[in-house]
Structure 1
Amino acid sequence: MIKQTFQTYNGFQFELIFDKHGYCLCPVCGEKAKNKDWRPYDENGYPSYDICACGFEFGYDDGGEPPFDKSWELYREEWYKGELDFGNSKSLPKKIKDQQLDQLLNSEK
């Protein structure tokens, strides 16, 4: 895993993680980007407003203002505990919980 530090327009620094092939991982859940050029924020820290498979919308769920890492952590906890509303189901099936754990472990390598 490769960590890259970015500095926002107001001087806040945040870190994104990339796999060995250069794909960015979601800073919330660790899912690998489908596009090698995708970033949740641009080089100045402005959000993409993309929505990850975990449901996090960059620029909305983080308030659109740095620091971002605290909102990532809070959302990650709710996401993993199944406390987020995903339509008709309040809890996630075991298969998805296992996938979540794999993604989180992937983002920490």
Structure 2
Amino acid sequence: MNIHGNKPPDGQDVRLETSKVEKSRGKDRTAGSRATPSTDKVSISGQGKKIAELMSIIEQLPEVRMDKVNEAKQAILSGTYDTDAQKIAQKLLDEL
């Protein structure tokens, strides 16, 4: 991703330096020193868990439904596969 127009004026070198001060065991420490790492906690709602469960189920489904493929093959081989040329042509034109 490119962001244009977010640079300082030409000839100026802009730097921003910050230091974070943490209190640990009664002593001040800067962020660069050996401060104890903070821990993050994430909790997922019931709806989020349900969505994750459903996504897992969907991922396990086959991409190709072989029962439908075999049914179409049998219909083609037996000559009973019916096509509506008008409907097919209309769908092709709709996609343009």
TM-score range, shorter chain: under 0.3
| Larger RCO, structure (CA 8 Å, separation 6 or more) | 1
TM-score, normalised with respect to structure 1: 0.19
Q: Larger Rg: 1 or 2?
A: 2
Higher helix share: 2
